[in-house]
Structure 1
Amino acid sequence: MAHVLGQNQYGKAENRIVRVYRDSTRHEIKDLNVSVSLQGEFEDVHLTGSNANCLPTDTTKNTVYAFAKEYGIESAEAFGIVLARHFVDDTERGVVHSARIRIEEYAWDRIKTPDNSARFIGSEEVGHSFVRNGQEIRTTEVVYDGESVQVISGLKDLVVMNSTNSEFWGYIKDRYTTLQEAYDRILATQVTARWKYGYSGRDGEAQPNWNRSYTHVKRHLLEAFAETYSYSLQQTLHAMGTRVLNNRAEVDEVRLELPNKHHFLVDLEPFGLENDNEVYYAADRMYGLIEGTVHREGVVPVIPVV
């Protein structure tokens, strides 16, 4: 029976790169984790052992670092597009058909110290000192096939909580149901969000302002979470995705993964105490996982389930 080589790709994963801009005493930092994956004419590499069509993964790593100097890192998206186009368009003999660049970006905040001249009333930034921002990790995935670009950006590990304005009741009950209905509960989740841009990179199409778009998408996600009186995490998910699409014309699709970070009231009666929605046990395992996509009418969703 004949065997056929199926879909395959290769590249260099998790290239950690920190780019420091020293143009003034107020330094700027870009901290990225870049993964490169290539598809193309790689049959002989697998089947015959010939490496004639193989661009070494070490070369892809070196390219990431060299491009950080040559082109700079204005945004994760723009950097990913430059890399993807290079690997497809500039690799000799056109053996690379498609390049996928995945990037995680880690944010740093400036450390502030007391302003001695103001008798410690104010504070001033130290231009070269930073503290790692623990709020969330920014993500992007760029795919280029020689004709068009697909950009899917996002964030992960953004933990949010509403201490009230959330209920959960009226659900299906059978003989295995023990969950009590809740009319005032904590709603908390760790947001993973990905959104697809309408940008295709064809015919000199102008790129969106990636950094500004990210800032506003995140803001709309948080505002929707905060302002939605929730009867389920599913309802909140839809409100968050809808808020982004209503306010950001450059975004066509939003996919959200929202693990329900359960908070259960602690029984304080054995200690002679009343627990009036004040003391909770925060459970990290197991958890409900709520996932869904909101997209514009007529747009075929493409963000994969991970």
Structure 2
Amino acid sequence: MPRLSAARYGKDNVRVFKREKDGDVETVTELTVCCLLEGKIEESYTVADNSPVVATDSIKNTIFIKAKEYPVNPIELFASMLGQHFLDKYPHITVANVDIIKHKWSRMVVDGKPHPHSFHRDGDEKRTVEARVTREGIDIKSSLKNLLVLKSTGSMFYGYVQDEFTTLKETWDRILSTDVDATWAWKTFPNVAAVTEQAAAFDKAFDDARTITFKTFAEENSPSVQATMYKMCEQILDAAPATASVSYALPNKHYFEVDLAWHKGVQNTGKDAEVYAPQSGPNGLIKCEVTRD
């Protein structure tokens, strides 16, 4: 006998832009919001009864209205407040899942001075949040995504399994590049008030995670992506005491030496390597999650 075991619905890809003024200085925030609701909505699926359905268009309108009424930064707080609204407004809704992407706009520097109202997009880096708001508490995961980094030396890889399937050569000097996807999960918050109390901690954790990622990546003579990402996780847990776990997903973007010896004996491998071929795929993908004891 079939039964509906899980269901959620809502509005995805809601683009929100908020402009705020402080005297002559303006600040802009651009978000992409997904809000999916769960609760006593089975009848809309099983017997075509739409009476419990809050229309997805109404969800979209609510996102815009609450972006006007609520602070949109930090996004962890906005996601929590938005999710709590749906639980308060509709008694039959038991869970609001709010995912937000914050698109990066950086203030222009003109003639050595920050411009009061002009911005530029410097890369694809994004700050994101996943909030699951229930009547028992609020679970939040914050992330740094699409941060593309590369170093031209200071990376090694050796000592791995060697068998009949192995062609990769050990190296003590290689290019290392990856697209950073780092996530830190916060300990469960009992309510929005508790999230509000931690508002400053969200921005600090993001800044610390970014700084730790840069510093560790750049300074460590990395024996492997695995070892380097573990160190990053440890440091973020230390920097953000209210977090419960940290995870990284790092694709290894390969740059392979090009053997040019066929052309007049040109040496371009090992210590003589200068010209490389960037690879679009396949690529290594390394993941880990580090939690507190």
- TM-score range for the pair, normalised by the shorter chain length: over 0.9
- Corresponding position: 1:231 with 2:231: no
- Corresponding position: 1:70 with 2:69: yes
Give the structure 2 partner of residue 10 of structure 1.
9
- Corresponding position: 1:291 with 2:287: yes
Q: CA deviation at 1:133?
A: 2.6
Paired residue for 2:185, among 180, 193, 196? 196
Query: How big is the alpha-carbon RMSD for the aligned residues of Structure 1 and Structure 2?
Result: 1.6
Paired residue for 2:159, among 158, 170, 182? 170
The range that moved more, 266-275 or 280-289, is 266-275
**2: CA distance between counterparts of 1:236 and 1:203?**
35
What amino acid does structure 2 have at the position aligned with 1:228?
E
**1: CA distance between counterparts of 2:191 and 2:71?**
23
Q: CA deviation at 1:221?
A: 2.1
Cα shift readout 1:226-255 (whole Å, capped 9, x = no counterpart) = 232211111111111111112221222111
Q: CA deviation at 1:11?
A: 0.5
What SS is found at the alignment partner of 2:2? coil
Q: Percent identity at matched positions?
A: 34
- Corresponding position: 1:222 with 2:214: yes
Describe how 1:1-306 pairs up with structure 2 within 5 A.
2-91=1-90, 94-114=91-111, 123-202=112-191, 204-205=193-194, 206-209=197-200, 210-271=202-263, 272-275=265-268, 276-297=272-293
Q: CA deviation at 1:222?
A: 1.9
Q: CA deviation at 1:208?
A: 4.0
What amino acid does structure 2 have at the position aligned with 1:296?
R
Cα shift readout 1:36-77 (whole Å, capped 9, x = no counterpart) = 011100111112222111111111101110011111312111
What SS is found at the alignment partner of 1:63? helix
Q: CA deviation at 1:166?
A: 1.3
**2: CA distance between counterparts of 1:112 and 1:165?**
32
**1: CA distance between counterparts of 2:214 and 2:143?**
13
What amino acid does structure 1 have at the position aligned with 2:248?
L
Does the 8 A contact of 1:100 with 1:142 survive in 2? yes
What amino acid does structure 1 have at the position aligned with 2:151?
N
Does the 8 A contact of 2:140 with 2:188 survive in 1? yes
Alignment size in residue pairs: 286
Q: CA deviation at 1:164?
A: 1.6
Does the 8 A contact of 1:97 with 1:146 survive in 2? yes
What amino acid does structure 2 have at the position aligned with 1:274?
Q
What amino acid does structure 2 have at the position aligned with 1:273?
V
**2: CA distance between counterparts of 1:135 and 1:51?**
40
**2: CA distance between counterparts of 1:226 and 1:199?**
33
**1: CA distance between counterparts of 2:258 and 2:48?**
63
Cα separation, partners in 2 of 1:73 and 1:229, compared to 1, 3 Å: same
- For structure 1, the 5+ residue unaligned runs are 115-122, 298-306
What amino acid does structure 2 have at the position aligned with 1:243?
Q
Does the 8 A contact of 1:164 with 1:185 survive in 2? yes
What TM-score results when the alignment is normalised by the length of structure 1?
0.89
**2: CA distance between counterparts of 1:133 and 1:76?**
20
